[in-house]
Amino acid sequence: MRRVRTVLGDILPEELGVTAAHEHLYCDQRLCSEPDFPRKVEKMVLLDTDLIVQEAGYFHEAGGRAIVEVTVHGWGRDVKVLSEISRRTGLHVVATSGFYVEDCLPAFVRDSSVEALAAFLVSEVMVGADGSPSRAGLLKAAVSRARIEGAEERCTRAVARAHLQTGAAITTHTSASSRFQIDGGNAGTMFLDLFEAEGVDLGRVIIGHCDENADLRQLANLMDRGAYVQFDVIGKEHWLLDTTRADLIAGLLDRGYGHRLLLSTDRTRISELRISGGKGYDHVLRKFVPLLKDRGVDDAALELLLVTNPATIFSMPFPIQEETHHE
């Protein structure tokens, strides 16, 4: 029987509801080693639990029921805090195990083998993370260059092998600064090639940040190989206008790719929250869904994007504990 693994325990896929597929609720980029990080650029820091409860509450008020939190060990993830946010907001929260870009890798990665790294990830999914019984329900791989190499390659292979042992889906990150140097605008093809070589079912892989530098042909190619394509920086219009994103999604729906699409906003900074005049976690539901409706996207298609697809990809296809909560 399939289950979605949340920080408060395992739930049935149909319990997940309207889902933001790629968000941050608690993170601290200052833990990363980035000597050349521009001083004037606001780092990705969210540490005020009361504020996040308020901001995530707006998402709940707009109809949201679940948030997939993609911060990993190495830059501030704390599943105990995520559990508190889940309890206080009434939202299901899925935590993530895996590795972010090289500058944010934990120190132990440097001297660890792929097998040891995979064992660490399996433990976070099957036993508990951050010294807590709360477990991760998703795996993450990341790249910061125009190719997958070095420590990032070892981490990506470890994610693939942990997936094979746990059944948890894989989500991916590609740094925007290198994305424009890659044919098709996205490192998704490289990820799929590596995962395929490791024996991963590509239907269990999400290619993230596809709406920063979108190439419609490449998006179709990724989905033709079975992967999910994620429009997860909706509202960040310095990359792409939301109207253009809506046009692309409507076009992909018309071409029959709706079953491979996910939506989110990737909130990472105080300036992106409503308290600071930002668009907040509820932007997709309040502002972007109306854009899709203006383009003829009907309720059935919206249900697919926001409910059915997340329930499918984030559920784990193997028997796990019958008890759904560990509180």
Give start and end residues of each alpha helix (H) in the chain.
49-61, 79-89, 114-126, 150-166, 176-179, 188-197, 216-224, 242-254, 283, 289-294, 299-303, 309-313
- Please report the pLDDT score of residue 145 as a whole number: 86
So what's the architecture of 3-316 in CATH?
Answer: Alpha-Beta Barrel (3.20)
- Please report the pLDDT score of residue 281 as a whole number: 98
pLDDT digits (tens, 9 = 90+) for 163-202: 999 999 999 998 765 556 677 667 899 999 999 999 999 9
Strand-strand pairing, 9-11 and 19-23: unpaired
- Please report the pLDDT score of residue 38 as a whole number: 55
The torsion angles phi and psi of 67, rounded to 5 degrees, stand at -130, 130
Q: Rounded to whole angstroms, how far apart are CA atoms 99 and 254?
A: 35
Please, how many CA atoms are within 13 Å of residue 116, restricted to the half-sphere of its CB? 6
**97 close to 117: Cβ distance less than 8 angstroms:** no
- Please report the pLDDT score of residue 182 as a whole number: 75
Q: Rounded to whole angstroms, how far apart are CA atoms 325 and 5?
A: 10
Residues pairing with 139 in the sheet: 97, 170
- Please report the pLDDT score of residue 296 as a whole number: 98
- What is the chain's mean pLDDT, rounded? 93
- Please report the pLDDT score of residue 199 as a whole number: 98
Residues pairing with 206 in the sheet: 171, 228
- Please report the pLDDT score of residue 322 as a whole number: 41
**161 close to 149: Cβ distance less than 8 angstroms:** no
> Token match 């601290």: residue?
28
pLDDT digits (tens, 9 = 90+) for 245-287: 999 999 999 999 999 999 999 999 999 999 999 999 999 999 9
Residues of the chain with pLDDT under 70: 34-40, 176-181, 184-185, 318-327
DSSP state of 199: T
